[in-house]
Structure 1
Amino acid sequence: MTSKAKNPFAGVRYEHLVAGVSGGVASTLILHPLDLLKIRFAVSDGATSSKPQYTGLTQALGQILRHEGPRGLYRGVTPNVWGAGSAWGLYFLFYNSIKSWFQSGNSKVDIGPSLHMVAAGEAGILTLVMTNPIWVIKTRLCLQYSDGTGSATPATRYSGMMDALVKTYKYEGMRGLYKGFVPGVFGVSHGALQFMAYEELKSKYNKYRSMPIDAKLTTMEYLAFASLSKLFAAVTTYPYQVLRARMQDQHAQYDNLRHCIRHTWRVHGLIGYYKGLAPNLMRVVPATALTFVVYENVSHYLFGLQKQKEEAENKDQSS
């Protein structure tokens, strides 16, 4: 038991990766249009004529459909699927591996809210380092307009995900692929708060039912706890997402994060840090709920298969 607790790779299970990827891809394909609206609202500052201006969700939806067609609502969906799938998969993998290490391999040990936040924070940093370039490309493709607005220079006109990746690296280097990384680091607190709330809700509920803390819940219970934890984290940490999207916007130039913060405050005041919150909540709450439900059910299914396989092998050996 001691050697297992000291081995940080003892709790690494591919089931968490596969289940996380499944949840991330499913929710992204269904709800990508709301993500696109959130990003376009976040970077809309009312002072740049090169971007379309939106006055509300209905007007924005109508304008995009009119000028870009239904396909316009799925701009950036490819890197979003790649990003969400890999991010959720890696996040669940890292988080559960770190949590398992804290638990010394015993999933029934309650590590408490502080260690849940530490595990989620460490998992968030590792995931961000590996996926930030994908989020930059997704943001830029979502901000590529087809109604005559926006930059049309060769450096910022992309034909797809790989073209955007190559051009961003060619014209801006690695620094371009890691734009928005600093506010992204601050955003790790979002995942930490969300996972802490989610784990504590599940743990307290199972204790109330006099069940082990890792007992399987119903789909509706997973939906409720995932939605509540996401709502709490989203409202608390939303400003970093606005700043991150603005720094990744190819149509705007900010010297650094401080410049972006000052400019947003000067032009919009406090409300500027919450631009796009409505479409964001409309997207992230059901998206996270769907992601967690798919993750929990897929992971339980995979672990069940693995358990059956091990029992069959033990039975063969004993006979």
Structure 2
Amino acid sequence: MSSVLSYESLVHAVAGAVGSVTAMTVFFPLDTARLRLQVDEKRKSKTTHMVLLEIIKEEGLLAPYRGWFPVISSLCCSNFVYFYTFNSLKAVWVKGQRSTTGKDLVVGFVAGVVNVLLTTPLWVVNTRLKLQGAKFRNEDIVPTNYKGIIDAFHQIIRDEGILALWNGTLPSLLLVFNPAIQFMFYEGLKRQLLKKRTKLSSLDVFIIGAIAKAIATTVTYPMQTVQSILRFGRHRLNPENRTLGSLRNVLYLLHQRVRRFGIMGLYKGLEAKLLQTVLTAALMFLVYEKLTAATFTIMGLKSAGKH
């Protein structure tokens, strides 16, 4: 129990949250482009920079940062939960022994499930707010009119029922493999480098963070597209199938995507996603590692920073 409620886990959680918020703010416009490419199927522009130029031209200079606050709030909560759970479970299971790739994958998976179940409502609301006021090419999309985070929660519960806040939960649960794979590769690459040197440089951390995220994103991207569509929830889908993103609906959306755009339709927006998530993850891990190391050094807990 002391491992779960430890100061070390709290430091990791705060550092992870600060790192993710910093990185997401820097690369936020890339996430806006990715979301438009995933949700608005009839958009002609295929490249990230063309979509961003279109958004700025049609909706204003600050449009790529629309929905920044709800996204950052959700990300802060989500990464705090994830890093806290990951490091607490690891401390309980490893107990001073050397960690292994298999253990990292299992711990990452469990931390991901806990994170999804607790934070999906936040992500549903921020997806809606991020796309509010967007000029869509797809006429099947029903527009929204929310005044803010609280009003979005209120309207979704009133009009669609409380379970609508967990739209996209099934693909989200399947997607816990994304951070699990990411952390498995990140921790594994880190261990390999630490065999050859005593300390990792900022560039080492940035590069292994980028490689780990690139692998995880490419493997799980089709499910991320389905997750975005279900969280947005404004497509005219069969209403009885939409709740919680039932398996039937997930398979239906995947099938529709392949039928209309071919197999590459499952990877629409991947360029923007890779650019955004790889750079964001690399910067996040860099801030995270530096912040945890600095905190443990200041507090005189040098050994606590070792994984």
- Report TM bin, short chain: 0.7 to 0.9
Aligned equivalents of 1:269, 1:138: Cα separation in 2: 29
Following superposition, the deviation at residue 305 of structure 1 comes to 2.3
Give the drift of 1:166: 1.9
- Taking the aligned partners of 1:146 and 1:247, their CA distance within structure 2 comes to 17
Identity over aligned residues, as a percent? 29
Deviations 1:53-88 (A, max 9, x none): 534333322221112112211112111101111212
Contact 1:25–1:85 (CA under 8 A) maintained in structure 2: yes
CA distance in 1, matches of 2:284, 2:162: 30
Q: Residues 15-164 of structure 1 correspond to what in structure 2 (within 5 A)?
A: 15-46=11-42, 53-104=44-95, 106=96, 109-147=97-135, 156-164=144-152
Tell me which residue corresponds to 1:281: 274
| Equivalent-residue separation in structure 2 for 1:299 and 1:11 (angstroms) | 11
Structure 1 equivalent of residue 260 of structure 2 = 267
- Given the superposition, is the C-alpha separation of residues 148 and 42 from structure 1 closer, same or farther in structure 2, using an over 3 Å criterion? closer
Q: Structure 1 stretches of 5 or more lacking a match?
A: 47-51, 310-319
Report the alpha carbon displacement of residue 165 of structure 1 after superposing the two structures with TM. Answer: 2.1
| Per-residue CA distance 1:86-145 (angstroms, 9 max, x = gap) | 2122211111111111221x2xx3221111000000111111111111111121122223
Structure 1 residue matching 2:87: 3-state secondary structure: helix
**Higher mean C-alpha deviation, range 160-169 or range 84-93:** 160-169
Question: Partners in 2 of 1:8 and 1:135 — Cα distance?
Answer: 26
Alpha carbons 2:109, 2:177 under 8 Å: kept: yes
**Per the alignment, in what secondary structure is the counterpart of residue 110 of structure 1?**
coil
Question: Is 1:198 the counterpart of 2:186 in the alignment?
Answer: yes
Higher-Rg structure is: 1
**CA 1:306 to 1:12, structure 2 compared with 1: closer, same or farther past 3 Å?**
closer
| Residue in 2 that maps onto 1:313 | none
Matches within 5 A, 1:209-288: 209=197, 211=198, 216-254=199-237, 255=241, 256-288=249-281
Cα distance in 1 for residues equivalent to 2:224 and 2:59? 25
Q: What is the CA distance between 1:234 and its match in structure 2?
A: 1.0
Whole-angstrom CA distance in 2 between matches of 1:241 and 1:146: 20
C-alpha distance in structure 2 between counterparts of 1:287 and 1:245, whole Å: 19
Question: Normalised by the size of structure 2, how large is the TM-score?
Answer: 0.87
Report the count of equivalent residues. 290
**Aligned 8 A contact 2:167 2:233 in 1:** no
Q: Which residue of 1 aligns with 2:305?
A: none
- Partners of 1:173 and 1:307 lie apart in 2 by 50
- The DSSP-based 3-state class of the residue aligned with 1:14 is helix
Q: Which amino acid aligns with 1:227?
A: A
